[in-house]
């Protein structure tokens, strides 16, 4: 009886697993028979044997997308895509590494977001959110939030961004005086959490100066987050993770509920305020236009808004923070670019190093008079995109490269690897080099960016809702930091303190990206900040 029971249990557990494996392996068998591009494939293991040799060429902990970027160079005859079968660690994939195919997937066909994204965002947002929604639900939600991220609203919130930026600069001054090594990524994440807090829910979080439960819970969830490519079973199925994520979600929800009640009361009382409207103020106003005012905010709207705010807090601070860190890193490695950006800031804001904040308060339009600064940001995002695109294939949707090769998408997820597209030598001259001038030359110039080749904010209807805010935040930060400070990474010191063997760079860069929510610099980017030497 015991043997029968154990056999029945094994069938219940392993039966669905084996059935799905057979189904997916048959799918790739058919794709291979059609002559579609893919690495050497095994009927039992799929492409699992392909990954170890690739990972040996990269440092431990780097992004899986870097391995697939290496793999993509073996398929140049198809101009930018290949099929990969690494189930059960990921669903069947069509990996896209060329601008043309990315444009087709995300713009021409506007393929939907796949269900596989739902569990990724579940511990972060806590429910259905703008990033994973599709169809009418997505359109309705996007319409409510679009006004809150308009260019005019961004100008109104600029004083509050400057307020948080001044705290950040003050903290960097403290580090410059102490001469200590610190983790710039951690500090900048706290800073951007404060910025997105004031812009999204009109609340100052003060994460840089003291503990804030909302910010701490969000950062904790990201630190505990398990990426899809995690193979170590002790990390992948850590029994503590669901408990930590549940508690973090509870803390975030309670905090956000209280702030929503405050914003609703402000709207209901219609009292004048000196603070600009936040994204949530505008959403509440739009939602209540067709509803009767009540003593409390509608519970259904509140639950929906809570999820979207958690998404904005994540997306609004994480990717922007790492872009600031990488921009400062690139400028420190390229003195000519640093000199040019300082000259531009002198021209726009005056030669006093600490005047940018005051100038932007009185003349916010000056943030749009920084072409070289914008070029530095774009080139930083090209080399270090915080994320990639993910879409779901559909029956009848077939992509086609410039050579006429056709690639079916049905029953597949499409992984648009931004890093692979941004570093594709078929489209970018000297693709691994930091050259801001790419963004200043005229069409026809060899350096001129390819159409659809720069995708950190994606294109099409599903482009990043907060890209205007992100660019504003980064411009303001660079304007207030680069003229006063020199930033120097301390990876040599770090490697002496924490020695390890093996490869330590990706694409020749020690500050390579690791998956931690967005793609962050490894080890938190240890650095020292010094005051810039005053010129005669």
17 within some domain: no
Reading the block at residue 207, the tokens are: 């994460």
User: What is the structure's pLDDT at 234?
Assistant: 52
Which residues in 317-419 belong to E strands, given as ranges?
Answer: 389-392, 398-400, 406-408, 413-416
User: For residue 8, is pLDDT > 90?
Assistant: no
Q: State yes or no: pLDDT of 232 exceeds 60.
A: no
* Inter-helix orientation angle 151-178/467-481, to 10°: 40
> In the 3-class helix/strand/coil scheme, how is 459-492 assigned residue by residue?
CCCCCCCCHHHHHHHHHHHHHHHCCCEEEEECHH
Q: Given a cut of 70, is residue 393 above it in pLDDT?
A: yes
Using the predicted structure, report yes or no on whether residue 211 has a pLDDT greater than 50: yes
Query: Does the pLDDT value for residue 226 go beyond 80?
Result: no
Q: Whose structure tokens read 């650095």?
A: 527
Burial class (CB in 10 A: 0-12, 13-18, 19+), 173: middle
Return the SS3 of 298: coil
Classify residue 343: in a domain, yes or no. Answer: yes
* Confidence tier at 4 by pLDDT (50, 70, 90): low
| Tokens found for residue 270 | 């219609």
**355 in a known ligand binding site:** no
Give the mean pLDDT of 374-387: 97
Residues sharing a CB contact under 8 Å with residue 412, sequence separation 6 or more, in sequence order: 83, 91, 92, 93, 94, 393
**Tokens in use for 212?**
């804030």
Kindly provide the b/e burial profile for residues 25-34, where b requires at least 16 CB atoms within 10 angstroms of the residue's own CB.
Answer: bebbeebbee
Nearest Cα neighbor of 322 from 518, 63, 170, 59 is 518
At 278 the pLDDT is 84
CA distance 95 to 68: 8
Residue 476 to residue 348: CA distance in whole angstroms: 13
Question: Residue 56's pLDDT is what?
Answer: 86
Q: Are 228 and 84 in contact (CB under 8 A)?
A: no
Q: For residues 13 and 17, give the distance between their C-alpha atoms in angstroms, rounded to a whole number.
A: 7
Could you tell me if residue 104 is inside a domain?
Answer: yes
Check residues 441 and 144 and name the one with the higher pLDDT: 441
Angstrom distance (rounded) from CA 320 to CA 327 = 11
As a whole number, the mean pLDDT across the chain is: 90
With bands split at pLDDT 50, 70 and 90, how would you rate the model's confidence at 271? low
Collapse the DSSP code of 368 into the 3-class scheme (helix H, G, I; strand E, B; otherwise coil) and give the result: helix
Give a yes or no: residue 50 inside a domain: yes
Query: Which residue range(s) make up the domain with 495?
Result: 36-531
Is residue 23, in this structure, part of any structural domain at all? no
| pLDDT tens readout for residues 85-97 | 998 888 899 999 9
- Residues near 419 by Cβ (< 8 Å), separated by ≥ 6? 63, 65, 66, 69, 385, 388, 513
- To the nearest 10 degrees (0 to 180), the angle between helices 371-383 and 467-481 is 110
Question: Which of 28, 101, 151, 2 lies closest to 405, judged by CA?
Answer: 101
CATH number at residue 182: 1.10.630.10
Number of domains forming the structure of the chain:
1
The answer to the question of residue 326 being in a domain is yes
**Helix H or strand E segment including 531:** strand 526-531
Q: Residue 16: inside a domain, yes or no?
A: no
Structural domain contains residue 20 = no
CA proximity to 461, closest of 95, 142, 127: 142
What per-residue confidence (pLDDT) applies to 5?
57
Render pLDDT for 235-269 as a digit per residue (tens, 0 to 9).
Answer: 667 788 889 999 999 999 999 999 999 888 888 88
């Amino acid at each position: 009886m015991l043997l029968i029971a154990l056999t029945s249990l094994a069938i219940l557990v392993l039966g669905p697993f084996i059935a799905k494996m057979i189904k997916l392996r048959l799918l790739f068998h058919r794709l291979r028979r059609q002559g579609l591009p893919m690495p050497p494939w095994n009927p039992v293991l799929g492409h699992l044997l392909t990954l170890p040799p690739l990972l040996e060429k990269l440092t431990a902990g780097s992004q899986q997308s870097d391995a697939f970027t290496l793999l993509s160079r073996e398929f140049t005859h198809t101009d930018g895509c290949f099929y990969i079968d690494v189930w059960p660690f990921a669903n069947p994939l069509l990996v896209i590494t060329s601008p043309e195919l990315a444009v087709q997937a995300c713009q021409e066909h506007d393929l939907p977001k796949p269900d596989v994204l739902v569990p990724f965002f579940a511990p972060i947002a806590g429910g259905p959110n703008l990033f994973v929604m599709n169809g009418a639900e997505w359109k309705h939600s996007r319409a409510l939030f679009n006004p809150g991220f308009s260019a005019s609203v961004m100008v109104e919130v600029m004083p509050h961004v400057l307020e948080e930026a001044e705290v950040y600069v003050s903290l960097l001054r403290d580090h410059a005086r102490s001469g200590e090594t610190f983790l710039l990524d951690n500090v900048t994440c706290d800073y951007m959490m404060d910025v997105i807090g004031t812009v999204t829910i009109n609340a100052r979080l003060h994460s840089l100066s003291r503990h804030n439960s909302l910010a701490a819970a969000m950062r904790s969830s990201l630190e505990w987050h398990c990426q899809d490519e995690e193979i170590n079973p002790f990390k992948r199925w850590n029994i503590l993770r669901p408990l930590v994520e549940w508690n973090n979600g509870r803390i975030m929800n309670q905090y956000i509920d209280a702030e929503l009640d405050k914003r609703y009361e402000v709207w209901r009382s219609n009292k004048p305020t000196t603070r600009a409207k936040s994204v949530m103020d505008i959403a509440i106003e739009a939602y209540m236009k067709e509803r009767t005012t009540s003593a409390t905010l509608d519970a259904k709207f509140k639950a929906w808004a809570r999820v979207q705010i958690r998404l904005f807090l994540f997306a609004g601070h994480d990717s922007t923070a790492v872009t600031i860190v990488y921009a400062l890193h690139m400028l420190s490695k390229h003195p000519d670019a640093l000199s040019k950006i300082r000259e531009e800031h002198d021209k726009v804001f005056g030669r006093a190093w600490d005047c940018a904040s005051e100038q932007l308060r009185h003349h916010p339009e000056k943030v749009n008079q920084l072409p070289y600064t914008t070029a530095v940001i774009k080139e930083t995002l090209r080399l270090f995109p915080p994320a990639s695109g993910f879409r779901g294939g559909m029956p009848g949707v077939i992509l086609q490269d410039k050579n006429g090769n056709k690639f079916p998408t049905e029953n597949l997820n499409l992984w648009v690897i931004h890093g692979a597209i941004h570093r594709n030598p078929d489209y970018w001259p000297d693709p691994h080099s930091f050259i801001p001038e790419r963004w200043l030359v005229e069409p026809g110039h060899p350096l001129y960016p390819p159409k659809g080749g720069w995708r950190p904010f994606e294109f099409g209807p599903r482009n990043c809702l907060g890209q205007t805010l992100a660019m504003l935040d980064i411009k303001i930060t660079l304007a207030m930091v680069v003229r006063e400070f020199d930033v120097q990474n301390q990876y040599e010191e770090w490697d002496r303190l924490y020695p390890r063997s093996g490869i330590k760079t990706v694409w020749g860069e020690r500050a390579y990206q690791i998956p931690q929510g967005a793609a962050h610099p490894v080890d938190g980017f240890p650095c020292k900040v010094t005051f810039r030497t005053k010129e005669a």
